[in-house]
Amino acid sequence: MPLSRPPTSSTEGPEPNPRELDVRPLLKAGQEPFEVIMAAVDALAPGQSLRLVASFRPVPLFSVMARRGYAAADHALGDGDWEVLFSPHAEVRTDEALAVGSSPAAAAWADPIEALDLRELDPPEPMIRILEALEDLQPGDVLFALLAREPVFLFPELTTRAHEWAGNFEAQGGTYRLLVRRGGSPRE
């Protein structure tokens, strides 16, 4: 069964340089940077990424950007500062088979509400990030992740937590794409 609706950060042709936005001065001045960030996103060229620098890890922004079609790749800069690269993802169609253990119902799941690009992280960090992100979702919500390798140790953890998953390598074979549908009870 094909993995029918996974987004990916790939684009056709050369990608424009990322737009840079450092919101630390706004935060230091006690100002809310959300409107500035959204204005920057609205001004991006097709296929262009946004490199955001903030004085904290802007986790709530990940979901907002995922709904707008951007995957997030973040890393700590030190002293509490974080850099996040929000990259546009595009629809990909593939005829590749899903990995053994994938949910056969994945093609009918809702679109992901959160997308994570974890290809730059070494194990077990991708597994930790995915499990943490799932804690913030509601049952039935779908998360999409790009990984550098097949997360074989993550699959039993997902099953134990009653989450469903579907995954496979992209056609070029270098990136593993994973959809996870949150199971369990609603958070209180």
Which pTM was predicted?
0.52
Q: How confident is the model at residue 154 (pLDDT cuts 50, 70, 90)?
A: very high
Which whole number is the average pLDDT over 155-170? 88
At 39, the pLDDT band (50, 70, 90 cuts) reads very high
Proportion of the chain above pLDDT 90, given as a percent:
42
Mean pLDDT of 109-124: 92
pLDDT at 5: 43
Q: What is the mean pLDDT of residues 95-114?
A: 77
pLDDT bucket at 186, cuts 50 / 70 / 90: low
pLDDT for the residue numbered 115: 93
Q: What is the pLDDT of residue 46?
A: 84
Angle value at C-alpha 94, between 6 and 139, nearest 5 degrees:
30
Alpha-carbon dihedral 38, 90, 116, 120, rounded to 10 degrees: -110
Q: Rounded to a whole number, what is the distance in angstroms from the first to the last CA of the chain?
A: 35
Task: Kindly give the pairing relationship between strand 142-147 and strand 114-117.
Answer: parallel
Q: At what angle do helices 59-67 and 34-42 cross, to 10 degrees?
A: 30
pLDDT for 13 beyond 80: no
Cβ-based neighbours of 146, under 8 Å, separated by 6 or more:
8, 9, 71, 115, 116, 117, 118, 119, 175, 176, 177, 178
Comparing 186 with 6, the larger pLDDT belongs to 186
At 65 the pLDDT is 78
Give the β-pairing of 114-117 and 81-88. unpaired
What does the pLDDT read at residue 102?
80
At position 42, the amino acid (one-letter code) is D
If we measure between CA atoms, which residue out of 55, 51, 78 comes closest to residue 65?
51
Count each helix (H run) and each strand (E run) in the chain, helices first: 5, 10
pLDDT exceeds 50 at position 3: no
User: Using CB atoms within 10 A of its CB, is residue 188 exposed (0-12), middle (13-18) or buried (19+)?
Assistant: exposed
- Judge whether 89 and 7 are in contact, CB under 8 Å: yes
Q: For position 18, what pLDDT does the model report?
A: 92
